[in-house]
Amino acid sequence: MSNQTTDNNKRIAKNTLVLYIRMLITLAVGLYTSRVVLNTLGVEDYGVYNIVGGVVAMFGFLNSTMSGATQRFLTTALGEGSKKQMSLVFCSSIQIHAIISILIFVLSETIGMWFLIYKLNIPLDRYDAAIWVLQCSILASIVMVMSVPYNAAIIAHEKMDAFAYISILEVVLKLLIVFLLMFVDFDKLKLYAILMFSTQIVVRLVYSAYCKRHFPETRYKHVIFKPILKKMSSFAGWDLYGNLCVVGKTQGLNFLLNIFFGTVLNAAAGIAGQVTGIIMQFANNVIMAVRPQIMISYAQKQYARMNYLINRSSIFIYLLILMLSSPLFVDCYFVLKLWLKIVPDYAVSLCRISLLSGLLSIINSTVSAGIHATGNIKKISFISGTCYLLVIPFVYIAFKLGVAPYWGYGISTIVMYIILILNGVILHSMLREFYLAKYLKMILQLTFITMLYLAILFFSSECIEMSFLRLVVLCMESVFIAIIFLLLILSKEEKIKMKKMISNKLSKFKQ
């Protein structure tokens, strides 16, 4: 193994550790704040905030599109060692994001407002508060859009410690918001929306200040460089369709739950989204550390390393998240009751299916990074995007037939599984060096592991009454099972490296 590869692996490990610490802090704060916000706002207002915020998020696909484009071009320029190219990419991305901000504002104030007034199922006495939420969400989205180029620069440079510190600052501010909600005598839904918007402004200023101080290429210059704008716009144009379909699927599913079942189901969906989001932060932290290396490996034509990062990182991250989420999956009602006190109807079933979908998204994130690295995203955007969008008519028909709400999430998860296979085929068609057979084998392997893993834990849970003790036992058992599967999955070379690493750590500890 070359020194450069060793250094890159160490960088991934270091960034993962930093992001892991960041995640632990955000997890603790997130669990507490979600509980207090739900209890303070009430189930109905909490549902209103989630559904109205979703109206703006519906147009956030514009932001997601350029976020991927900016990260891809910045990381590729960094891999090629071109500072000038990075500066041109950054300045171009600022210009494009300014246009996106205007589009989001116009679309939200027209289509978003129309949708809120005429289509959403909002209690009449909460319409005024819902409009406040909409306006604050629009402004917060614009601030977030303009933060993307700075965020992308930090990730491209793999300065995850800074990214972690700023994220910790954000959750601390959100914690302060919770305390204010508890003690201020004002419409709490309106106040919550205003304070969340204020938090985004502070975070945006911190991102900008850090980048300007550490990365010279992030100092904006009004230079219009058409070749870069054309390439980024072309990439973003194809990515636009894919992201539009993903957001359409996510928010469309949320709207269908509202139309067919009311705001209480939106509260359940909000809880499911938060639980899955908190757990998936573990995965996203590692993926965030691995993703730049996948793109750099492609830029440097190190295809063997790119294959290794896509396949092995998927397995290791998946197993880690399976270990963390399985006890929650099995003992979901007890955990939600312990955490929230109030458990909305269908929250348990939605949480369980959402966790399964989140696990599949781990594999999708790594293979998608490989496709984005090539710069050719026409196939993935059209094929995968269309599959995502087809979820909505399928779910609509299912709800019309009278199925339970959790089937909406179930259909979405089945489609996600199909997309994983399609994305592997797409990457192989563009890069013959990508090992499709190993990728498909990995998907089947993880499917079998998941079924066996959950079956063992469900069987064990039947032997103990629902209690905190049972949850602790399930957590310990989950760790033990994960270690066994890890030892079975590791190759001989990986086992040797692990033994050597543990031996070195122990020798240092003894000294």
Where exactly are the structural domains of the chain? 3-510
**Residue that wins the pLDDT comparison between 471 and 498:** 471
Residue 483 pLDDT:
87
User: What average pLDDT score do residues 327-336 get?
Assistant: 86
User: Across 4-18, 208-222, 235-249, 271-285, which has the greatest mean pLDDT?
Assistant: 208-222
User: What average pLDDT score do residues 194-201 get?
Assistant: 86
Residue 68 pLDDT:
64
Residue 81 pLDDT:
64
CA-based Rg of the chain, rounded to a whole angstrom? 23
State percent of the chain over pLDDT 90. Answer: 7
Question: Any idea which of 110-114, 230-234, 310-314 has the lowest mean pLDDT?
Answer: 230-234
Q: Which residues contact 446 (CB under 8 A, 6 or more apart)?
A: 314, 315, 318, 363
Q: Which residues contact 215 (CB under 8 A, 6 or more apart)?
A: 153, 157
Residue 8 pLDDT:
60
Distance CA 442, CA 433 (A): 17
Closest to 227 in 3D by CA, of 53, 43, 91, 362: 91
Helices 83-107 & 226-261, crossing angle to 10 degrees? 40
Residue 418 confidence (pLDDT) above 90: yes
Residue 491 confidence (pLDDT) above 60: yes
Residue 41 pLDDT:
75
Residue 20 pLDDT:
66
- Place 421 in a pLDDT band, splitting at 50, 70 and 90: very high
User: What average pLDDT score do residues 337-363 get?
Assistant: 84
Residue 497 confidence (pLDDT) above 90: no
User: What average pLDDT score do residues 500-507 get?
Assistant: 66
- Place 446 in a pLDDT band, splitting at 50, 70 and 90: very high
Q: What's the token pair of residue 219? A: 């100092």
Mean pLDDT of the chain: 80
What does the DSSP 8-state code read for residue 461? H
User: What average pLDDT score do residues 277-291 get?
Assistant: 76
User: What average pLDDT score do residues 227-255 get?
Assistant: 77
Residue 62 pLDDT:
55
**Residue that wins the pLDDT comparison between 509 and 274:** 274
Residue 213 pLDDT:
85
Q: What is the pTM of this model?
A: 0.70
Residue 431 pLDDT:
84
**Under a CB-based contact definition with an 8 Å cutoff, are residues 460 and 474 in contact?**
yes
User: What average pLDDT score do residues 264-274 get?
Assistant: 79
Task: Please tell me the chain's helix, strand, coil percentages from 3-state DSSP, rounded to the nearest 5.
Answer: 90, 0, 10
Residue 14 pLDDT:
65
Q: What's the token pair of residue 245? A: 């379909």
Q: From residue 403, how far is each of 397, 399, 409, 445, 458 by CA, in Å?
A: 9, 5, 12, 31, 25
Residue 462 pLDDT:
85
- Place 66 in a pLDDT band, splitting at 50, 70 and 90: low
- Place 397 in a pLDDT band, splitting at 50, 70 and 90: very high
